[in-house]
Amino acid sequence: SSIFCLKIRTFSMATSLTIIQNFINNEYFPAKNFIASYDPAIGEVWAKVPDSDAEEVEQAYQAAKKAFSGWKKTTVEERSRLLLKIADILESRLEEFAIAESRDNGKPISVAKNGDIPRAVLNFRFFATSILHYQNRSTYQEAYSALNYTTRHPIGVVGIIAPWNLPMYLLSWKIAPCIATGNTCVCKPSELTSVTAYMLCDVLLQAGLPAGVVNMVFGYGSKVGEAIVSHPGIPLITFTGSTATGKIIQRSSAEHCKKLSLELGGKNSGIVFSDADLEKCIPTIVSSCFANQGEICLCTERLFVHEEVFEEFLEKFVEATRKLKVGDPTSPASTTGSLVSKDHLDKVKSYINMAVKQNGKIRCGHLVDDLDLSPRNKNGYFILPTVLTGLKDDSCVNQEEIFGPVVTVTTFTTEQEVIERSNNISYGLSATVFSRDVGKVHRVAQALDVGTVWCNCWVIRDLRMPFGGTKKSGLGRESQDDSLDFFTEQKTVCVKI
C-alpha cells in the first residue's frame, strides 16, 4: 500500500477547473480530449471530463481481468474489511463529497449531505457486512441418496454504467456488491456528473484496494458505454439510466448473451383516497414529486385524487408546493436546486408548454409564478415546481417520463378505475397509495403493476428488500440478496452417497 500512497492526491474545491483523469490499474491517466462539465446552478464550466473511447475501455478491461485472478481468491473477510475501510474514508470526507456532488448535479448541498453521500457510505458498509452472511444452499434427496449443494462464484469483469441524478449513491450501490462478491469492474459514470466518481478513486487508493479491482473510464455513453457493453470479455452489465439507453444496451449485449441488470425510467403514480389523512400525506407527496428537483426515478409524476377530496387536496398541495424554496444549492435555505443541464431544463419546459397546448392548466410553478434567483444563479438551469391539471391520461405529458419537478393531478371515482388508470402506462417502477383503510391499501398495492408500492409514505428504503421495475422500467432487482445473486454464478453439485 506504500506505492498507492504516493499516488494519493487530495481533491481541492478550488475555483479553478477540476481536470478529471481516467483511473486504470490504480493509476491516473491524463486525457487527450475533454468534455466540458457544467455547474448547472451558475451555467459555467467547472470540470473537464475525459472524452475516452474504446482504447481506454480496453486498457481498463485488461487491468480488471488481470486483477480478477487475485481478487476472486481473497477471503470474504478481507474484502469485507476493505469495503468497511472505503466506507470510513468516504464518511470522513462527507462534506467535501457533498459539495462536489451539489456543484456537479445542481442539487442542494443539504440534500447531498443528508441523502446521497451518507447513502453511498451505507452502500459500502451494507455489502461489507451482507457478504459475511451470504450462504450456499443444500438439499438431500433420500430416495436417491443424493446430496445437492450450491457454490457461488464471482463472474469476472463487470461493466457498471451509472446516471447523473444520484451519481455517487447509484455508482456505489453497484460497485459495493460487485467487488464484495469478488468481481472486478470497469465503471462509467455519467459524463454530466463525473467529479465524485473521480474523487472516489482516491478513496479506493487510500483504502488499499488492489490495482485493477475498480477502474473508472470517463466519457460519453455512445463511446465508452458502447465499448463496455459490446466488449466480448465483459459478461455482466449493470446499468441505471433511461429506458431508451436500456433498450440499446439490451440490443448490443445480445450478441454475447450478457447477464443484465437494468434499472430504467419511471412514470410513477400517487393515489390519494378520500379517507387519506391529508395533513399528513401532503408533505410526503410534495417530497415524492419534487425531491431532488423531481430528478429521481421514483418521483411521482401522476397524481390521482379521489373526487370527494380533490379540491381540498389541490388547494393544500399547491400551497405546500409554493413553499418550496428554489435557489442556490449552496444555501441551506434552498429545498430545491437547479436541473442538471440546459438540455434537460429545455426538455422539462417543453412538456409544460405541451400541457398548455393541450388545454392543461398550470396551478403553480413555471410560467405562472416568479422564479426569484440570486444574481449568482441567474444563468443557472432552475425551474419552479409545477402542478398541472386538466390533462387526459393518454396525453404525452401523462405517458412519458419528464424526470423533473412537474406533476399532473386528476380525479378518480372508484378503486377499480384508479387501478386501471394507474396501470395504463408502459412503465412500472413504483407507486404510492394514501388511505387509512388497511384492507384497501393492501388490495390496491397487490393490483398495481409496479416493482415497489409505498403506502402512506415514500422512499423508506430497506436495502434488504428488492428494488426494480416491471415493464419498461427494467429488468431484475437490486437488494442484499438480489445484488449478491446477480454478481455471482451459482453452481449446483449433485453427489450420490
Binding-site member from 33, 136, 151, 222 for ligand NAD (CB under 6 A): 222
Q: Which stretch binds ligand NAD (CB under 6 A): 106-114, 237-245, 405-413, 486-494?
A: 237-245
Dihedral-angle region of residue 114 (phi above 0 means left; psi in -120 to 50 means alpha; beta otherwise): alpha
Question: Positive or negative CA dihedral for 480, 481, 485, 491?
Answer: positive
Active site residue 297: yes
What type of residue is 33? N
Q: Could you give the string, one character per residue 396-435, with x where binding to ligand NAD holds by CB under 6 A and - elsewhere?
A: -----x-x-------------------------x------
For residues 86 and 207, the answer to whether their CB atoms sit within 8 Å is yes
Q: Which stretch binds ligand NAD (CB under 6 A): 32-40, 49-57, 149-157, 188-196?
A: 188-196
Residue 38 Cβ, how far from ligand NAD at the closest point, in Å? Answer: 14
Residue 216 Cβ, how far from ligand NAD at the closest point, in Å? Answer: 12
The 10 Å Cβ neighbour count of residue 148 is: 14
C-alpha cell at 427: 412503465
Interface with ligand NAD: number of residues (CB under 6 A): 31
For residues 345 and 110, the answer to whether their CB atoms sit within 8 Å is no
What type of residue is 9? R
Residue 419 Cβ, how far from ligand NAD at the closest point, in Å? Answer: 22
The secondary structure element, H or E, covering residue 48 is strand 44-50
Binding-site member from 226, 301, 328, 482 for ligand NAD (CB under 6 A): 226
- For residues 255 and 123, give the distance between their C-alpha atoms in angstroms, rounded to a whole number: 32
Comparing CB distances to ligand NAD, the nearer of 158 and 207 is: 158
Q: Could you give the string, one character per residue 29-68, with x where binding to ligand NAD holds by CB under 6 A and - elsewhere?
A: ----------------------------------------
Q: Which stretch binds ligand NAD (CB under 6 A): 50-58, 102-110, 216-224, 303-311?
A: 216-224
Dihedral-angle region of residue 286 (phi above 0 means left; psi in -120 to 50 means alpha; beta otherwise): alpha
Nearest residue to 160 via CA among 132, 193, 183: 183
214 scored as a contact of ligand NAD (CB under 6 A): no
Comparing CB distances to ligand NAD, the nearer of 221 and 380 is: 221
Dihedral-angle region of residue 129 (phi above 0 means left; psi in -120 to 50 means alpha; beta otherwise): alpha
User: 3-state SS of 56-116?
Assistant: HHHHHHHHHHHHHHHHCCCCHHHHHHHHHHHHHHHHHCHHHHHHHHHHHHCCCHHHHHHHH
Comparing CB distances to ligand NAD, the nearer of 230 and 456 is: 230
Binding-site member from 105, 165, 334, 483 for ligand NAD (CB under 6 A): 165
DSSP label at residue 224: I
For residues 91 and 122, the answer to whether their CB atoms sit within 8 Å is no
Q: One of 101, 191, 263, 295 is an active-site residue; which one?
A: 263
Q: One of 185, 297, 299, 364 is an active-site residue; which one?
A: 297
Residue 298 Cβ, how far from ligand NAD at the closest point, in Å? Answer: 7
DSSP label at residue 265: -
Q: Is 75 exposed, middle or buried (0-12, 13-18, 19+ CB in 10 A)?
A: exposed
End-to-end Cα distance, the chain: 47
Q: Kindly give the pairing relationship between strand 361-364 and strand 386-389.
A: antiparallel
Binding-site member from 50, 156, 163, 405 for ligand NAD (CB under 6 A): 163
Q: Which stretch binds ligand NAD (CB under 6 A): 12-20, 186-194, 320-328, 373-381?
A: 186-194
Binding-site member from 101, 104, 116, 191 for ligand NAD (CB under 6 A): 191
Residue 496 Cβ, how far from ligand NAD at the closest point, in Å? Answer: 45
188 scored as a contact of ligand NAD (CB under 6 A): yes
Q: Could you give the string, one character per residue 241-270, with x where binding to ligand NAD holds by CB under 6 A and - elsewhere?
A: xx--x--xx-------------xxxx----
Residue 469 Cβ, how far from ligand NAD at the closest point, in Å? Answer: 6
- For residues 179 and 381, give the distance between their C-alpha atoms in angstroms, rounded to a whole number: 36
Q: Which stretch binds ligand NAD (CB under 6 A): 94-102, 174-182, 225-233, 412-420?
A: 225-233
Residue 338 Cβ, how far from ligand NAD at the closest point, in Å? Answer: 15
Residue 134 Cβ, how far from ligand NAD at the closest point, in Å? Answer: 23
Residue holding cell 401523462? Answer: 398
Active site residue 44: no
Dihedral-angle region of residue 219 (phi above 0 means left; psi in -120 to 50 means alpha; beta otherwise): left
Residue 468 Cβ, how far from ligand NAD at the closest point, in Å? Answer: 7
- For residues 228 and 237, give the distance between their C-alpha atoms in angstroms, rounded to a whole number: 8
Residues that bind ligand NAD (CB under 6 A): 161-165, 170, 188, 190-191, 220-222, 225-226, 229, 240-242, 245, 248-249, 263-266, 297, 401, 403, 429, 469, 474
What residues are labeled active site?
Answer: 263, 297
